[in-house]
Amino acid sequence: MKGFVAYDSVHGNTKQIAQAIADEIKAEGHEALLHSAREGVPDKLDADFMFIGSPTRMAKATRPAKRFVKKLAKSTWGEKPVCLFDTVMPGVEAQKGRWSRTAAQELQDLARDRGLNPHSSVLHAIVTGLKGPLAQDAAEKTKVFVREYLLTLKA
């Protein structure tokens, strides 16, 4: 299978998670292409599944990540699985109200509204400060999530 990993990153943390996702896809015996969402959707996007990620900024996804999802064609990606991920500060799950959302949740809703097939779970990678670094276990948790996600594609 071929995986496509699109991401936007501001301080480099989300790019690191995207790279960890691509590396784990390859470690599991599949092809993976890493792509910056700032470059837009490629004209030829030949993949069986996709990961799309963004840092969480002010409880939202970045514009390039949202633009990327909006430009995915339902005719091509409506049936293919899409998994969303983000980087977040610790404790965001405990927040209430306006600040409780994350980039991955926003992208998941946007993908669903566009008629795409988002995975029911999203991946949150923890950053320890406003600009990072990633939590020590973020890369390992990412790899576990990717392995479990790939198993759902084979079922």
| Distance, CA of 93 to CA of 28 (rounded, Å) | 30
* Terminal alpha carbon distance of the chain: 14
Q: What is the mean pLDDT of the chain?
A: 94
| Distance, CA of 8 to CA of 28 (rounded, Å) | 24
Write the pLDDT tens digit of every residue in 52-82.
999 999 899 999 999 999 999 999 999 999 9
- The range of the structural domain enclosing residue 119 comes to 2-154
Structural domains of the chain, count? 1
| Distance, CA of 6 to CA of 100 (rounded, Å) | 24
Mean pLDDT, residues 5-34: 98
| Structure token pair of residue 114 | 């566009």
| Distance, CA of 74 to CA of 68 (rounded, Å) | 13
* pLDDT, greater one: 61 or 90: 61
Question: What per-residue confidence (pLDDT) applies to 81?
Answer: 97
CATH code of the domain covering residue 41: 3.40.50.360
| Closest listed residue to residue 153, CA positions, set 110, 105, 119 | 119
